[in-house]
Amino acid sequence: MQLFQAKPIPILMYHQCSPTIFQQQLSWLIDPSRGYVPITLHERIKYFENLVSEPFNETDIILTFDDAFQSFFNDIYPILKRLHISATICVPTNFISSEPNTRCSWNGSPTMTWEELRILKDDGFEIIPHSLSHVSFNAIENDKTKLRNEIIGSRDVLAEKLGDEPAAFFCFPYGAGWGKTIVEEVLAEERLSALRAEYKGEGWNRFRIPRWNISCQPSFADLFEAVSGYSC
Ligand SMILES: [Zn+2]
């Protein structure tokens, strides 16, 4: 599939961040002197599905939060809600508890419950699959059945649990697996687009949509790089 060379709409990748630092970074982005406007992937779905001639705004920016940590719900969601800003949550579905009144954790931190994810969905947040088990696709790269299960299984669990349409986007665990033919076959069969975890100026298409990792530090350097494409 054709690769596009033009820098794509900046997609920022967060995991966990202190509310104070996130508020500072968000204020930097939306300050009238810069005027970035956070939108969702679905608002530009035609653009990401390779119709790059689709119009978009120079001020478009997309906020993504990986791994569905409870800290997002407690600390970041209230900030975004107050400003009527939406974001995209990437969910490794095995780490969301199926039992009421219990909570799972991933990577040492508690994750959200289905109820919390439903609240976010009902509030206009975009919830997309991030695999079932958060396995690195490098570890299962020759097993199409397992790859399908991780990709399609997590998409279908989300749709069922949230009572939503099947997501049109997938988020690679560890950012691994993009560019592999077998992975792109599964994505193409299911008409899914997929998010990577980095951008170093390579070409991109709907199966390898770049993101910029944003450190939760009192610095705007990562943001500057994401919106401008240059380091400062
Ligand atoms: Zn992850």
Q: Look at residue 95 and tell me whether its pLDDT is greater than 60.
A: yes
Rounded Cα gap, residues 44 and 55, in angstroms: 9
Ligand 1: centre distance to CA 166 (Å)? 20
Residue 37 CA to ligand 1 centre (angstroms): 25
CA separation for the pair 29, 127 (Å, rounded): 22
CB burial readout 77-105, b (16+ within 10 A) else e: beebeeeebbbbbbbbbbbbbeeeeeebe
Q: Ligand 1 centre and the CA of 134: distance in Å?
A: 6
Distance 82 CA to ligand 1 centre (A): 26
| Per-residue pLDDT reduced to its tens digit, 108-152 | 999 999 999 999 999 999 999 999 999 999 999 999 999 999 999
What residue has token string 């049109």?
A: 168
Tell which wins on pLDDT, 109 or 202: 109
CA of 44 to the centre of ligand 1 (A): 23
State which residues form the domain around 205.
11-228
Determine the distance separating the centroid of ligand 1 and the alpha carbon of 53, expressed in angstroms: 31
For residue 18, is pLDDT > 60? yes
Centroid of ligand 1 to alpha carbon of 201 (angstroms) = 22
* Tally of domains within the chain: 1
* 166 falls within a domain: yes
Give me the percent of the chain exceeding a pLDDT of 90. 88
3-class DSSP state of 190: coil
What pLDDT score does 69 carry? 98
Q: What is the pLDDT of residue 6?
A: 87
Is 5 among the domain residues? no
CATH code, 207? 3.20.20.370
For the segment 31-85, what is each residue's pLDDT rounded down to a tens digit? Answer: 999 999 999 999 999 999 988 888 889 999 999 999 999 999 999 999 999 999 9
Q: Determine the average pLDDT of the residues in 228-232.
A: 62
- The rounded radius of gyration (Å) of the Cα atoms in the chain is 17
Residue 213, sorted as left (phi over 0), alpha (psi -120 to 50) or beta, turns out to be: beta
Report the predicted TM-score, pTM, of the whole model to 2 decimal places: 0.96
The answer to whether residue 64 sits within a structural domain is: yes
Residue 4 lies in a domain: no
Q: Look at residue 17 and tell me if it is in a domain.
A: yes
Distance, CA 120 to ligand 1 centroid (Å)?
19
Whether residue 1 lies inside any domain: the answer is no
* 109 CA → ligand 1 middle, Å: 12
Distance 84 CA to ligand 1 centre (A): 25
Q: Residue 28 domain-assigned?
A: yes
Rounded to the nearest angstrom, the distance between the alpha carbon of 185 and the centre of ligand 1 is 22
Over residues 81-109, the mean pLDDT reads 95
DSSP string, 9-41: PPEEEES---HHHHHHHHHHHHSTTT--EEE-T
In a domain, 6, yes or no: no
Q: How far is the CA of 100 from the centre of ligand 1 (A)?
A: 23
C-alpha of residue 55 to centroid of ligand 1, in Å: 30
Taking the centre of ligand 1 as the mean of its atom positions, its distance from the CA of residue 32, in whole angstroms, is 32
Q: Distance between CA atoms of 120 and 192, rounded to whole angstroms?
A: 22
Going from the C-alpha of 120 to that of each of 5, 51, 113, 177, the distances in angstroms are: 34, 29, 11, 28
Considering the chain, what is the average pLDDT of its residues? 95
Structure confidence at residue 230 (pLDDT): 59
Q: Is the pLDDT of residue 231 over 70?
A: no
